[in-house]
Amino acid sequence: MNHRPFFLAALLALVLPACAPAEPPAYQHRFEHAERWSKEFDDPSRDAWQQPDRVIAAMQLQPGMTVADVGAGTGYFEPHLSRAVGDGGHVLALDVEPDMVRHLTERAAREKLANVVARQVTPDDPSLEPASVDRVLIVDTWHHVSGRAAYAARLRTALRPFGKLVIVDFRLDAHRGPPPAHRLAPEEVIRELQAGGLDAAVVDAGLPEQYVVVATAPVAR
Ligand SMILES: C[S@@+](CC[C@H](N)C(=O)[O-])C[C@H]1O[C@@H](n2cnc3c(N)ncnc32)[C@H](O)[C@@H]1O
């Protein structure tokens, strides 16, 4: 029996991942003191460039859906997500910072967002059950995540059939956002999502400073 093809396949399986281009490092940055960050993230002037209604439209949300907001921060998107999924839906506001989670919980109670639940997660795991969410939103946070291909694979597992992952982040030439050296080109984000087993493409949501990448799990044939 000729063992050569099996040997070659095994060798390629070992060598190819090592040949894949390395991910740019994550922008390691703490977000403590939620009230302080809220002044920036929830500044009323943000609506003009963030255009949350366009982000919500790009997500194609339906009443009754479950949506996870990974890196929810101070909860800028929570009122929008809460409204879009309605009383029968669920919003999981996830963040690594305990003070953000406290703030998110208090905000949801204060603003009577009964379908919003805040949870603390670890940096490498959104802790979502398999096939448990219809949409995942990640705004201005993907560039803070380490091991993004592996993280994308976890999100893929969490998506229900026909679920979508929507990543919004700053363009390389945006007038605001993280320091330019820490920004990720949309092509890089797509490459990382594909490495995690997702199909991904840029969609034109018409945002002035940010791109929107939408990813889906490939349909089984
Ligand atoms: C720039 S803020 C964006 C907040 C919010 N998405 C918004 O648009 O206002 C990034 C947030 O992501 C959180 N974060 C960073 N890395 C994370 C990770 N691996 N998993 C979950 N949250 C993360 C930070 O604690 C912070 O609250």
Amino acid at 39: K
Q: Measure 22 CA to ligand 1 centroid, in angstroms.
A: 23
Contacting residues for 170 by C-beta, under 8 A, at least 6 apart: 140, 176, 177, 178, 183, 209, 210
Regarding the beta carbon of 97 and ligand 1, being less than 6 Å apart is answered yes
- Residue whose CA lies nearest to ligand 1 atom number 1: 140
For the chain, what are the domain ranges?
32-216
Tell me the best of 28, 95, 167, 183 to mutate to test the pocket of ligand 1, counting ligand atoms within 8 Å of each CB and taking the most.
95
Quote the pTM value. 0.91
Regarding the beta carbon of 141 and ligand 1, being less than 6 Å apart is answered yes
pLDDT for 20: 55
Give 7-59 pLDDT, tens digit per residue: 433 443 344 344 456 899 888 888 889 999 999 999 999 999 999 999 999 99
Q: Distance between CA 154 and CA 32 in Å, rounded? A: 26
Pick 32-216's CATH classification: 3.30.413.10, 3.40.50.970, 3.10.20.440, 3.40.50.150: 3.40.50.150
Sign of CA dihedral 28, 40, 65, 163: negative
Give 85-123 pLDDT, tens digit per residue: 999 999 999 999 999 999 999 999 999 999 999 999 999
- Beta partners for residue 69, in sequence order: 93, 137
